[in-house]
Amino acid sequence: MIFTDDLADTIDALNLRFTAGVRAELADLTRFLTASLDWLMVEHFQFSSRNTSFLATAAGTAAAFVDKSIEAEIRRNLAEESGHAQMYKRALRDIGIEVDARLEFPPTAYFFHKISGLLTPDPSRMLGAMYATETAAIFEHEVFRDISKEVITRRSADWSGSRLKQFHDMHLSGVEQSHKDELGKFLHGLSVPTVAMTQAGGGRTIDAARAHDGANNAIDAMTLWWHDLLSEAYVADSRRSAA
Ligand SMILES: [Fe+2]
Ligand SMILES: [Fe+2]
């Protein structure tokens, strides 16, 4: 278990361990058939399309905090995300990928079930989970930018003017970094396990141990989801290669 005297740094270290593992598996995209890379994007789109409902739930849970700026930040994030799933869907359609033609992939449904379970009812657990997923969003846009570039290049289509490039670049030019940083402000300086839950003025303050637990659970859920996604991609590739 990783602990530092700064909860945001602790969660970052946990996240880095998870993302470094996935990045290593995706370092050489030539290992994957195009159909599998297309499929990975369709599954990532599922998160994009659920994101606003996760944020709305999280904002409702954050209302229990004494510090109202936590809810305000999540609502700012929610407003910013509105319309993004449609943009992503259109960008994928440009290269011939129809997200609605998808077959259900149970690990994705299971992942969403676990994330949604972390967003309510405990506000500290929600805050830790949200910080972890917003941090991972930067990594996701980076790897899916690379995947997009790879499949567009394989299709001999135009990458530099593509909506997929615009979509990922827009997120990577500060949007996701600010989602992470603005939530991180509430977690910097807290440490686990020295900070105990306190109740103040009819509302909740941040319980660092619970926030850590929420982040840890969210990162475990993301690690498992990515493991399942990549396993499925490998299996589908070998099936297609054998056909
Ligand atoms: Fe977005
Ligand atoms: Fe975000």
Domains of the chain: 7-22+31-242 (1.20.910.10)
Q: What 3-state DSSP class applies to 203?
A: strand
**70 CA distance to ligand 2 centroid (A)?**
15
Whether 209 contacts 194, CB under 8 Å:
no
**134 CA distance to ligand 2 centroid (A)?**
5
**223 CA distance to ligand 1 centroid (A)?**
21
State the sign of the Cα–Cα–Cα–Cα dihedral 203, 181, 74, 129.
negative
**137 CA distance to ligand 2 centroid (A)?**
6
The span from the CA of 215 to the CA of 131, in Å, is: 7
**211 CA distance to ligand 2 centroid (A)?**
18
pTM flag (> 0.85)? yes
| Closest ligand by atom to 86 CA | 1
Q: Per residue in 143-167, pLDDT tens?
A: 999 999 999 999 999 999 999 999 9
pLDDT tier for residue 204 given thresholds of 50, 70 and 90: confident
**242 CA distance to ligand 1 centroid (A)?**
37
pLDDT tier for residue 1 given thresholds of 50, 70 and 90: low
| Closest ligand by atom to 47 CA | 1
Cβ count within 10 A of residue 108: 20
pLDDT of 243: 82
**136 CA distance to ligand 2 centroid (A)?**
9
| Closest ligand by atom to 87 CA | 1
